[in-house]
Amino acid sequence: MKVEYNESIEDRHIKRKKSVHIDLSPVRHRVLKAQVALNNTSIQAFFEEICGLVCEEDEYIMKILKDLGNLKIQKNKKSKLVNEEKDEIYKYIKEQSIK
């Protein structure tokens, strides 16, 4: 899906940087930090480049985004099934205790 950009956005809004705060596991953070350092760049520059690829709708990056979305949907479906099963079990136990 192509995202349309509003050309009427004023320069003062475009020039302002936005902050993104993410939680990474300590191991992933350490490896990411080491990899960007080994490649003579920074985490900031790396994420800026990744965001650029998203804006350009790079095929590989967009596949990753789509796959992540599908995993989230599957996880939510499994969670919903587990909750429904839990409800059925509680209902069964309640019915058995009344007998």
Structure letter (DSSP) for residue 5: P
Q: Is the dihedral of CA 72, 76, 78, 82 positive or negative?
A: positive
Q: How many domains would you assign to the chain?
A: 2
What confidence score (pLDDT) does residue 14 get? 63
pTM: 0.60
Phi–psi pair at 90, nearest 5 degrees: -60, -40
> pLDDT of 20-76, one tens digit each?
899 999 999 999 999 999 999 999 999 999 999 998 999 999 999 999 999 888 877
What confidence score (pLDDT) does residue 83 get? 66
**Any domain includes 12:** no
Same structural domain for residues 51 and 73? no
**Any domain includes 25:** yes
Q: Which two tokens stand for residue 38?
A: 């080994």
What confidence score (pLDDT) does residue 49 get? 93
Buried b (16+ CB within 10 A) or exposed e, 64-96: eeeeeeeeeeeeeeeeeeeeeeeeeeeeeeeee
> pLDDT of 62-81, one tens digit each?
999 999 999 888 877 666 66
CB burial class (10 A; 0-12, 13-18, 19+) of residue 63?
A: exposed
Alpha carbon distance 56, 2 (integer Å) = 9
Same structural domain for residues 75 and 49? no
Mean pLDDT, residues 7-12 taken together: 61
For 41, half-sphere exposure in the C-beta direction (CA atoms, 13 angstrom radius) is 11
Instruction: Residue 91: give the domain boundaries.
Output: 69-99
